[in-house]
């Protein structure tokens, strides 16, 4: 199988895979309790109960008002079921939803009353900014650091940096965010960084350079939390990959010819050492869209992650289905992108034997 044929096959296989993901998620959301109808009914009954209790002493009995409340609730239920297509079988509802998705239309939010596409588009810049920035910064730092640790393997720098990386790997991003705010933004110790958001309140009238500096200053703490997760693993992966390449015959032959260790790594071993890192490069698509629920929540960032977090508790299924569908599709494309990068780095890689 040629490489273009392999790409085409992978693209065609994405369709049933994505279809299966959406079927399962749609079914779970539809049968799970706490949908838009139940949520509205709970609000109506709560308000009706409070109103009836307040009128109990005047009327002497709440039977009449309870019956009226039930009658109104039944009418609202029928209207809501028609509005959200809950008066139709689940397979019909999925078909109607799928026809909208083909047109890249995910319906309307149950809680916000706006088009889901417009809501996601308004939140996307924040998640994309942090996703892309953290991804590229991690690779730009980890690759040189891993190479330097491999060159200085066993040195004092390698041991000390390894200890620091181990500590960083042990800290959860959410906990790190809380600690950073407490020590550097909350005023308890230092107030060097802003505590939330991406811009200062009065920054609209500032000159461009000052707004750019303010934006970067707001990004430092949350970006640190974004990067901490993959920083250690990528650095150590790069170091170990370089060390494995150094042990191979083609590098040892170069060293035997008098080539320095640094030159042998940069000119011979580096290209093959990048292969393990390239397998995760496709994750840039998912990371740039999905964002981080916890980090965006902690730093009050108005991105896709926070939107998904709030929609989960509000049972806003149109937003959740849109987020799952887009994230799953980007994840599948990311896996294909990783294979393409592997082929670019090493043209000898053969995909003909892959399923």
**Does a structural domain hold residue 110?**
no
**Does a structural domain hold residue 14?**
yes
Report the pLDDT value the prediction gives residue 47, as an integer from 0 to 100: 61
| 129 and 224 housed in the same domain | yes
Report the pLDDT value the prediction gives residue 63, as an integer from 0 to 100: 43
Report the pLDDT value the prediction gives residue 16, as an integer from 0 to 100: 92
Encode pLDDT of 115-148 as tens digits. Answer: 888 998 888 888 888 888 888 888 888 889 988 8
| 176 and 288 housed in the same domain | yes
| 205 and 59 housed in the same domain | no
Number of structural domains found in the chain: 2
**Does a structural domain hold residue 109?**
no
| 153 and 97 housed in the same domain | no
Domain span at 201: 116-345
**Does a structural domain hold residue 187?**
yes
**Does a structural domain hold residue 311?**
yes
| 147 and 66 housed in the same domain | no
Per-residue tokens: 188: 């308890």
Q: Count Cα neighbours of 214 within 13 Å in the Cβ-side half-sphere.
A: 16
| 77 and 120 housed in the same domain | no
Report the pLDDT value the prediction gives residue 169, as an integer from 0 to 100: 84
Report the pLDDT value the prediction gives residue 58, as an integer from 0 to 100: 38
**Does a structural domain hold residue 191?**
yes
| 93 and 124 housed in the same domain | no
Which residues of the chain, if any, have pLDDT below 70? 1, 34-35, 37, 39-74, 76, 187, 288, 291, 351-355
**Does a structural domain hold residue 315?**
yes
Final residue before a domain boundary, out of 102, 134, 157: 102
| 327 and 182 housed in the same domain | yes
| 171 and 318 housed in the same domain | yes
| 170 and 308 housed in the same domain | yes
Final residue before a domain boundary, out of 102, 125, 153: 102
| 94 and 163 housed in the same domain | no
**Does a structural domain hold residue 87?**
yes
| 138 and 186 housed in the same domain | yes
Residue 300 belongs to domain with CATH number: 1.10.3720.10
Report the pLDDT value the prediction gives residue 20, as an integer from 0 to 100: 92
Report the pLDDT value the prediction gives residue 62, as an integer from 0 to 100: 40
Final residue before a domain boundary, out of 102, 129, 147: 102
Encode pLDDT of 145-195 as tens digits. Answer: 988 888 888 889 989 988 988 888 888 888 888 888 888 887 677 778 887
């Amino acid at each position: 199988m040629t490489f273009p044929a392999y790409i085409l096959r992978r693209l065609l296989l994405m369709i049933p895979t994505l279809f299966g993901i959406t079927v399962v998620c749609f079914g779970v959301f539809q049968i799970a309790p706490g949908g838009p109808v139940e949520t509205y009914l709970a609000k109506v009954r709560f308000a009706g109960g409070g109103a009836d209790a307040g009128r109990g002493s005047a009327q002497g009995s709440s039977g009449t008002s309870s019956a009226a409340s039930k009658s109104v609730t039944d009418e609202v239920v029928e209207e809501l079921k028609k509005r959200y297509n809950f008066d139709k079988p689940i397979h019909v509802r999925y078909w109607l939803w799928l026809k909208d998705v083909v047109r890249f239309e995910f319906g309307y939010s149950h809680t916000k009353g706006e088009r889901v596409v417009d809501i996601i588009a308004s939140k996307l810049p924040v998640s994309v900014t942090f996703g892309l920035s953290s991804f590229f910064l991690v690779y730009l730092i980890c690759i040189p650091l891993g190479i330097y640790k491999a060159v200085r393997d066993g040195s004092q720098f390698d041991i000390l940096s390894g200890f620091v990386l181990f500590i960083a790997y042990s800290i959860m991003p959410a906990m790190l965010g809380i600690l950073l705010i407490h020590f550097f933004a909350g005023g308890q110790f230092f107030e060097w960084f802003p505590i939330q958001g991406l811009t200062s309140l009065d920054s609209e009238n500032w000159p461009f350079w000052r707004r750019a500096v303010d934006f970067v200053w707001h990004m430092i703490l949350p970006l640190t939390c974004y990067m901490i997760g993959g920083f250690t693993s990528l650095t150590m992966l790069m170091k170990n990959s370089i060390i494995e390449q150094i042990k191979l015959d083609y590098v040892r032959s170069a060293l035997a010819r008098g080539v320095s260790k640094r030159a042998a790594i940069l000119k011979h071993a580096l290209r093959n050492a990048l292969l393990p890192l390239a397998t995760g490069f496709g994750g840039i698509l998912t990371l740039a869209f999905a964002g981080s629920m916890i980090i965006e929540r902690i730093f009050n960032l108005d991105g896709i992650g926070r939107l998904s977090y709030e929609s989960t508790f509000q049972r806003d299924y149109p937003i959740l289905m849109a987020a799952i569908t887009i994230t799953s599709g980007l994840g599948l494309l990311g896996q294909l992108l990783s294979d393409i990068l592997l082929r670019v780095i090493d043209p000898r890689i053969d995909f003909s034997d892959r399923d």
